[in-house]
Structure 1
Amino acid sequence: MPDHIPSTRRNLPFRLSLPENDKLAIHVVYALFGLSVVFQIPGMLGVILAYLKRGEVAGSYLETHVAWQIRTFWLWLLMVVAGWLTVILLVGWLILLAAHLWLIWRIVKGWLVLVDERPIDRPEAFF
């Protein structure tokens, strides 16, 4: 590439793939999950980012956050699917409400622990 053409990569304010931006990437995943309370697509983008960061944060306290986030997404998706499959029985609306309240609780808990720069105690736990 000629020297006079600026690289787009160098002009970006940050790159989530850099190790010094690992914590920022985990914050972005929590934010995307927060948006998924209203819109479904951000949650999918968040779990993809979490999977991409999983290997890069191995061995650090961020590893527990990534495990927490991935588990949160898949359990939430399972509850949403169960809710929509049973919505005709009216119990589905309760399942959908519970799923979204559970998602909000997991986001808040995880994000607060991340701000304190601590690992999630039991990332495999339901609550």
Structure 2
Amino acid sequence: MDNDKERSLIAYNHITYLLNIVSYFTAGLLWIAPIVMNYVRRHEADGTWLATHFDWQIKTFWYSIFFFVIGMILLFISFGGLGISAVMDSGHLAAGSLLFAFLGVAVIGVTVVWHLYRIIRGWIALASNRPVP
């Protein structure tokens, strides 16, 4: 890979990392843009240290989506259980539903922190011209 191509891909990755961070301030609306961008140009970095950054961001996106959905499912289950417990006047069902709500919020919270960690760690590695593991 020539120097101009490498600089171009480095700048491109800086943009995708930035969009990942900015997506937190747009209620996730920009979250899809960096993943599409990574898929579009990832083949250009094959066999280079930059390929690790494309793969890193793609894996971060998909694992984050997976665990976020799990957290949301847990929350939906808890809301349903709370509704049923209110109708049936069941304290035990309400307690179980609150546990599901706590687990859902915890999974989503850990996912957000993990996502931010991966984006920041990858961006620092990119700024140092190093691959990510």
What is the deviation of 1:104? Answer: 0.6
Q: Counterparts of 1:1-127 in structure 2 under 5 Å?
A: 19=5, 20-38=7-25, 39-87=27-75, 88=78, 89-90=100-101, 91-121=103-133
The answer for the alignment partner of 2:91 in structure 1 is none
Gaps of 5+ in 2: 79-99
- 1:36-65 alpha-carbon deviations (Å, 9 max, x no partner): 334222121100000011111112211000
Of structures 1 and 2, the larger Rg is shown by: 2
Question: Contact 1:37/1:104 (CA < 8 Å) preserved in 2?
Answer: no
* Large movers: runs of 4+ above 6 Å: none
More contact order relative to length (CA 8 Å, sep ≥ 6)? 2
**Once structures 1 and 2 are overlaid, which stretch shifts more, 84-93 or 47-56?**
84-93
Structure with more helix by fraction: 2
CA RMSD of aligned residues (A): 1.4
**Residue 40 of structure 1 aligns to a residue in which SS?**
coil
The amino acid that maps onto 1:80 is F
How many residues align? The count is 104
What is the deviation of 1:35? Answer: 2.1
What percent identity do the matched residue pairs reach?
Answer: 27
Query: Could you state the TM-score of these two structures normalised by the residue count of structure 2?
Result: 0.73
Question: Contact 1:22/1:57 (CA < 8 Å) preserved in 2?
Answer: yes
